[in-house]
Structure 1
Amino acid sequence: MTDFALARHNMVEGQIRTNKVTDPALLDALAALPREQFVPAERRSAAYVDEDLRLAGERYMMEPMVLARLLQAAEPTRTDVALDVGCGTGYATAVLARVTATAIGLEADPALARAAGETLARLSIDNAIVVEGRLADGYPKHGPYDIVFVNGAVEEFPQALIEQLAEGGRLVGIRRTGAGPGAAMLLLKRRGAVAGRTLFEAATPYLAGFAPKPRFVF
């Protein structure tokens, strides 16, 4: 039987701290949350491996190290409102709920949204909700957001997500333009303008529906 507490400790110490993640609140959240509860039962023994974990179909749970580095780059605070785009089973939403005031998980797949909501409720995480909707549209009802976390790779960040950033808001995610590794990006909104910078490389799988369209060359 897997010792999940030990696996969680090893994840934080061996995957997260060693990759320059130093934010105390974020480290505490990762050490406290039972990641295995957000993984389908048949894959639970692999919950803490250092790779992206398939949830269902074309949907994945992001590798812990990549997730942690992106969230640290967003510089979450206890007063922030955060949007987790493509929340899957809700793990990143739960992490965000630990380090912000409110976290909203946006999910297009009804089964994943239901699973995420049930797990958050079971863990008594009461400052997070899960809503269903088209990922590219964001969720303006609870915006603008201090943090928008794109939970998977995209060819381009949808304009609607950028427009839902508050002044001083940060969008983090992976931008990929082909089969190779993508670029982890931080977009920052200041005085109504948005500027971005590259953080690191990551081979994160595409969010379903966000992969590049096939291009025909004649």
Structure 2
Amino acid sequence: MTDFNAARINMVENQVRCNGVTDLRLIAAMSTVARERFVPEANRGIAYMDEDLAIGNGRHLLQPRVFAKLCQFAEVTATDKVLDVGCATGYSTAVLAQLAASVVGLEEDATLAAAATAALAEAGVSNASVVTGSLREGAAKQGPYEVIFLNGSVPVKPEHLFGQLAEGGRLLVVIGGDPVGHAHLFVRAQGTVSGRVVFDANVRALPSFEVAESFVF
């Protein structure tokens, strides 16, 4: 039988802390949230592995070290409202809920959204909710947000989500991935959004962000 508590501590010590993650609130959250609750029962024994984890329907949970580094750059505070784009089964939402005032998990796969809602309830998370809708379109009705977090890569910067950032808001996303993706931090200041690369990362693509092919004549 897998000792999930030991596996969780091992993940934090050997995948998170050793990769430059020093945010004590984030470390505490990842040490507390039971990742195995957010994966299919057949995969619970590998819930803490050091790579993207398949959860069904072609979707994955982000590799723990990449997830943690993105969260650290987001600098989530206890007064922030967070939009968690592509929340899948809700693990990222549960961790972010430990750091923020409230979290809106956005998922376009109805099966995954239902799983996330159930898992969050089981985990006793009371300051997060899951809504179903297009990942690309975001969730403007519940915004604006101090943090927008994307659980996967997109081909180009998601400018259509910038309007859902509050003043001072941060958006974290991995752009590209063929062959190397880059994690970006975008910040809204005085009505203008600017961004920079914060580290290199290759993660699975999020659905609905595909760029339509254009023909050149």
**The TM-score by the shorter chain falls in which range?**
over 0.9
1:99 shift after superposition = 0.2
3-state SS in 2 of match to 1:136: coil
The Cα shift of 1:213 comes to 5.2
What residue number does 1:125 align with?
Answer: 125
| SS of corresponding position for 2:199 | strand
Alignment of 1:53-64 (within 5 A): 53-64=53-64
Kindly provide the CA deviation profile for residues 73-110 of structure 1, in whole angstroms up to 9, marking residues without a partner as x: 01010000000001000011111100000011000000
Q: Are the aligned partners of 1:149 and 1:172 in contact in 2 as well (CA < 8 Å)?
A: yes
Per-residue deviation, 1:157: 3.3
- The 5 A counterparts of 1:37-76 are 37-76=37-76
Residues in 1 aligned to 2:216 and 2:112: alpha-carbon distance in whole angstroms: 37
1:147-197 per-residue CA deviation (whole Å, 9 max, x = no partner) reads 000110001233331110000000001000x53120000000000001101
Contiguous gaps of at least 5 residues in structure 2 = none
- Paired with 1:160 and 1:37, the residues of 2 have a C-alpha distance of 32
C-alpha contact (below 8 Å) 1:12/1:30 kept by paired residues: yes
Structure 1 SS opposite 2:70? helix
Question: 1:35 matched to which residue of 2?
Answer: 35
- Which residue does the alignment assign to 2:204? 205
- Uncovered stretches (5+) of structure 1, i.e. residues with no partner: none
| Per-residue deviation, residues 50-87 of structure 1 (Å, max 9, x unmatched) | 10011113211100000000010010100000000010
Q: Is the 8 A contact 2:80 2:145 kept in 1?
A: yes
- TM-score of the aligned structures, taking structure 1 as reference length: 0.95
Instruction: Determine if contact 2:136/2:208 at 8 Å carries over to the other structure.
Output: no
Separation of aligned partners in 1, 2:187 and 2:213 = 30
Letter in 2 for 1:201: D
Distance 1:157 1:135 in 2: 14
1:123 deviates by: 1.0
User: Residues 216 and 45 (structure 1 numbering): CA distance in 2 closer, same or farther, change over 3 Å?
Assistant: farther
TM-score (normalizing by structure 2): 0.96
Structure 1: distance between partners of 2:170 and 2:67: 15
**Taking every aligned residue pair, what percent have the same amino acid on both sides?**
48
Q: Does structure 2 conserve the Cα–Cα contact (< 8 Å) formed by 1:181 and 1:204?
A: no
Over the residues paired in the alignment, what is the CA RMSD in angstroms?
1.5
Specify whether residues 139 and 179 from structure 1 end up closer, same or farther in structure 2 by C-alpha distance, changes over 3 A only: same
Residues 60 and 75 from structure 1, CA distance in 2 versus in 1: closer, same or farther, beyond 3 angstroms?
same
